[in-house]
Amino acid sequence: MSKERVVVYPGSFDPITNGHVSIVVRALTIFDRVIVAVAVHLDKAPTFSVAERVEMIRHTFRSKEYVDQVEVDSFTGLTVEYARRRGSNTIIRGIRGISDFEYEFQLALMNRKLNPDIHSIFLMTDYRWFYISSSMIKDVARLGANVSALVPLYVNQKMREKFKLPH
């Protein structure tokens, strides 16, 4: 019997976007299971609490199609240590452009130094989501823009509630 191939997809996911969803769905064509791991950064002030972010991601992947393949969790500390604890030797990161690559490449090299048994894999986001980021989506949503095509429906609803925008 072969060992289950599990990948950790860490990030702040504040909030999860369709670009993130695309990465998870594509990762499932390579791995048996994806752990979407919400990183808790004590020095950052996120818009959504860890519990809210975890709940939005779980809601996004609640269908029977994903229930056994996508797990949502949160963690503090080093991603390589979290991956090791979870029995994964692979971290997946989404890349939108050159600036993402430079940062992610440095991070991957540091992770490799910290634990050479943990591998980093980069997936390009789908071209439809190349230009979006959670920060940009929050900025325009706060100003009343319709971002429903850029985030899962439930996330859009939660953002409208958070920013007290009309439905």
Query: For residues 74 and 50, what is the distance between their CA atoms, to the nearest angstrom?
Result: 7
Residues 93-107 have a mean pLDDT of: 89
Domain count of the fold of the chain: 1
Q: Domain for residue 160, yes or no?
A: no
Confidence of residue 131 (pLDDT cuts 50, 70, 90): confident
Catalytic residue among 88, 120, 134, 138: 134
Q: Domain for residue 143, yes or no?
A: no
Q: Domain for residue 79, yes or no?
A: yes
Residue span of the structural domain in which 45 resides = 6-131
Residues 10-16 have a mean pLDDT of: 97
* CATH code, 31: 3.40.50.620
Q: Domain for residue 125, yes or no?
A: yes
Q: Domain for residue 37, yes or no?
A: yes
Q: Domain for residue 108, yes or no?
A: yes
Q: Domain for residue 80, yes or no?
A: yes
Q: Going by C-beta distance under 8 Å and a sequence separation of 6 or more, which residues neighbour residue 146? A: none
Catalytic residue among 3, 44, 64, 164: 44
Residue type at position 20: H
Given a cut of 80, whether residue 1 has pLDDT beyond it is no
| Catalytic site includes residue 120 | no
pLDDT digits (tens, 9 = 90+) for 35-78: 999 999 878 789 999 999 999 999 999 999 999 999 999 999 99
| Catalytic site includes residue 20 | yes
| Catalytic site includes residue 96 | yes
* Ranges 10-19, 69-78, 86-95, 100-109: which has the least confidence: 100-109
Catalytic residue among 59, 96, 112, 119: 96
Write the CA distances from 27 to 5, 30, 57, 61, 160, integer angstroms: 11, 5, 16, 14, 29
Q: Domain for residue 22, yes or no?
A: yes
